[in-house]
Amino acid sequence: MRPLLAIAALLLFAGSSFAQEAVTSPVDIKAEKEALNKLIDKFSAATETLDVSTMLSLFTEDARIYGTDPEEFWTKEEFSSLVEQGSPDSAPEIKYINDREIIIGPTGNSAIVVTQYLISWSPNIPWRQVFYCAKVEDKWMIHFMNVAFIPKNEDIQKINNALV
């Protein structure tokens, strides 16, 4: 029994000693942020002109899009149908607030991008748009997008009182 344990321990030690470590190249955060900024800039420009085909080309096929209403959970296809109902004349005016926040995942293959803005048909309550982006064949794409109202904390009670 002891020789068997000694051989097993020796094999385990040898295996761990000769195991190859995965070689990973460092992520160029600056380059990835530039690429993500271009992606979101392209998406924003397409949103402002209601360029549906460009908007949709930036999403992965299995993307999910969540709106401000608790019932607004869309697939890419459902979101496409919704956006196609609009016209460039009805595109909202958007005024961005704060800088865009970009957080790159440790492997450089995923990222979260956050933008905040005021929109023409909701000038008193800011909005936050959060994107989860993933690299697909070395190209950044939007895999998840969420849009939410972000009232200031001091305005929450006023909003609650108005909804009574």
pTM, two decimals, is 0.81
CATH number for 140: 3.10.450.50
**For residue 19, is it within any domain?**
no
How many domains are contained in the chain? 1
**For residue 121, is it within any domain?**
yes
Question: In this predicted structure, what is the pLDDT of residue 158?
Answer: 93
- Find the domain containing 76 and state its range: 27-162
**For residue 143, is it within any domain?**
yes
Q: Mean pLDDT for each consecutive 10-residue tract of the chain (164 residues)?
A: 54 53 75 97 90 95 95 94 75 87 96 95 93 97 97 93 90
Distances (CA, A) of 137 to 40, 83, 134, 141: 18, 27, 10, 10
Question: In this predicted structure, what is the pLDDT of residue 164?
Answer: 84
**For residue 156, is it within any domain?**
yes
Name the residue among 148, 156, 137 with its Cα closest to residue 65: 148
Question: In this predicted structure, what is the pLDDT of residue 27?
Answer: 87
User: How many Cβ atoms are within 10 Å of 131's Cβ, its own excluded?
Assistant: 25
Q: How far apart are CA 98 and CA 110, in angstroms?
A: 22
**For residue 11, is it within any domain?**
no
Going along the chain, which residue ranges are E strands? 59-66, 73-75, 94-104, 110-119, 122-136, 139-149
**For residue 157, is it within any domain?**
yes
**For residue 13, is it within any domain?**
no
Question: In this predicted structure, what is the pLDDT of residue 113?
Answer: 98
Question: In this predicted structure, what is the pLDDT of residue 6?
Answer: 53
In DSSP terms, 127 is beta-bridged to 117, 149
**For residue 119, is it within any domain?**
yes
